[in-house]
A and B are shown apart, each in its own frame.
Chain A
């Protein structure tokens, strides 16, 4: 996350007039309240009968499935995302620029369209011959689609900035290539990898559009938490939906805090004490 707490206090000559500060601040607070805070507060208020809503079997099953698949996807991305970032930064081949642009496709493509395209290849009439509809594998593939860019994009800039001289120094001191990766490159990439993993995890936990088509939403089998919540809404069970939503909200918050902490941990060696 790019936003951080440190500010550059402008000197007197450039300071904004008081009324502008107040107006601007008021606008920001008002806007955020209307758009984000009030709705979420309403959500928290509605989550009555929290315990029952969260401990019923279907909800627990959906939550377990969601967390399990999200974790699996996050780990796959840790490996594949790092490998992809490596290839994009250290390798060179024709069409690399196109591949680099394509990585962002899951960001740009609507999730429902992503779900449809996966069905075209891996569905009942899919061209690959593999039918993943109504299976957890299908959900997994959908989640891999939408989380593809996260680790790649957090690792890439770090890899670009990484001083190759460190690796040359390690080579001149006798370290073999695997040793260099293990002792020099990887420790410097780890915080970025973990940040990307956390973001991918959060995204996967909440994913709706990409999974809703291919999973078939079979309760206890392929029903993700987001789809369960949607079902509760359709059944007019507002408090049931709100309760599980609150759980997801807390997971999102926790993930953001984790990413913030990871960023501070990553830059710990750059600070002079």
Chain B
């Protein structure tokens, strides 16, 4: 397990991390999520030892790692642009960590073969990185990091440089790999969909501070503040409140607390229906309802409907959520 405590890091005037504390449970797949410049990559690099924090400690598997160089931390690191050793073959790349540890040649050969199979690059060992596609290079980088059996696997925006379809495939592939190999894994991403889709836990950071830590469900249903609400999942403004579109309930009859609204546009998104509505005073908002509900209401453009807020979950207070995980 990994623990970063009260980590602060400045680059000149710019504060990249401001007293950040994060615990990563053993064997978990955790996402460090946040917009550009939020400090997530910096935090990852601090954990890896590629940056020295101005304040704070890092613990890896219970040992204090703050003073250790990257070579000594037992972390595997995967870069956004793969950082392949372009003058070496794929096999030599994957073997590198073992070569440097002077393992016997046969052992290295076997392990490389095993890993290339694991990442589905068998037969490509003799090629050079320049001859691989982006997705293949990233899988090579993963195999290389896994070769030395790290206690911790750190990935810095691993799929950022790939196109959409490959990104989707590799995302799912990473999840399955993690289920198989069970190494404590932390990955950095700015894509909330990616984090929501594959992570066990998410740390949402912004401007060098932690906004919320929790499961994807926690962040979606119990956002700690407005930033979390708007960054993760959909949000819409209804009568001054920022809420999830599916918290807005539509009905055919006026009821207590319901507002009269005009249906402006209806979008059929598979199972769900997104409705764009406008209130009497011109305020616009969205509601999200199921196909069945839309049919029951006989929803049509120009229809007058009654909208009410029914929160599925409450917005928790900040303190409750920034608690260390067991």
Contact = CB atoms under 8 A, between A and B. Distances in A.
A and B touch in the complex (CB under 8 A): yes
Interface of A: 163, 165-166, 168-176, 179, 183-184, 187-188, 269-273
A170 to B, nearest CB: 7
A174 B100 contact: yes
B70 to A, nearest CB: 4
A184 B83 CA distance: 11
B83 A165 contact: yes
Contact of A179 (B50, B100, B130): B100
B130 A172 contact: no
B323 interface: no
B106 interface: no
Closest 10 CB pairs of A and B: A165-B83, A173-B97, A172-B77, A169-B83, A171-B70, A175-B100, A187-B87, A172-B70, A269-B86, A174-B71
B231 interface: no
A171 B50 CA distance: 9
A188 B84 CA distance: 12
A172 B87 contact: no
B71 A169 contact: no
A270 B86 contact: yes
B79 A165 contact: yes
B100 A271 contact: no
B85 A166 contact: yes
A183 B97 CA distance: 12
Contacts of B59: none
A176 B100 CA distance: 9
Given A172-B77, A269-B130, A166 B100 contact: no
A273 B131 contact: yes
Given A173-B145, A174-B100, A165 B85 contact: no
Contacts of A170: 85, 96, 100
Decide if the interface of chain A is mainly helix, strand, loop or mixed: helix
Contacts of A166: 83-86
A272 B101 CA distance: 31
A166 B70 CA distance: 13
B60 interface: no
B75, B83, B141, B148 — which one has the most chain A CB atoms within 10 A of its CB?
Answer: B83
B214 interface: no
Nearest to A176: B71
B71 A175 contact: yes
B209 interface: no
A169 B100 contact: no
Contacts of B100: 170, 173-175, 179, 183
Interface in B37-91: 48-50, 69-71, 73, 75-77, 79, 81, 83-87
B285 interface: no
B81 A165 contact: yes
Given A168-B50, A168-B70, A169-B83, A270 B130 contact: yes
Nearest to A163: B83
Contacts of A173: 71, 76, 96-97, 100, 144-145, 147-148
B137 to A, nearest CB: 12
A172 B86 contact: no
A38 to B, nearest CB: 44
B306 interface: no
A168 B101 CA distance: 17
B51 to A, nearest CB: 10
Contacts of B77: 168-169, 172
Contact of A272 (B87, B130, B144, B148): B130
A176 B73 CA distance: 13
B76 A172 contact: yes
Given A165-B79, A168-B50, 18 more contacts: A168-B77, A168-B83, A169-B79, A170-B96, A171-B70, A172-B48, A172-B50, A172-B70, A173-B71, A173-B96, A173-B145, A174-B101, A174-B148, A175-B96, A183-B85, A269-B130, A270-B130, A272-B131
Nearest to A184: B85
Contacts of A269: 86-87, 128-130
A187 B86 CA distance: 10
Contacts of B129: 269
Contacts of B130: 269-272
9 contacts: A163-B83, A169-B141, A170-B85, A171-B69, A172-B76, A173-B144, A175-B100, A270-B86, A270-B130
B124 to A, nearest CB: 13
B160 to A, nearest CB: 14
B87 A188 contact: yes
A175 B96 CA distance: 9
Contacts of B147: 173
Nearest to A171: B70
Contacts of A171: 50, 69-71
A179 B70 CA distance: 14
B170 to A, nearest CB: 19
B86 A174 contact: no
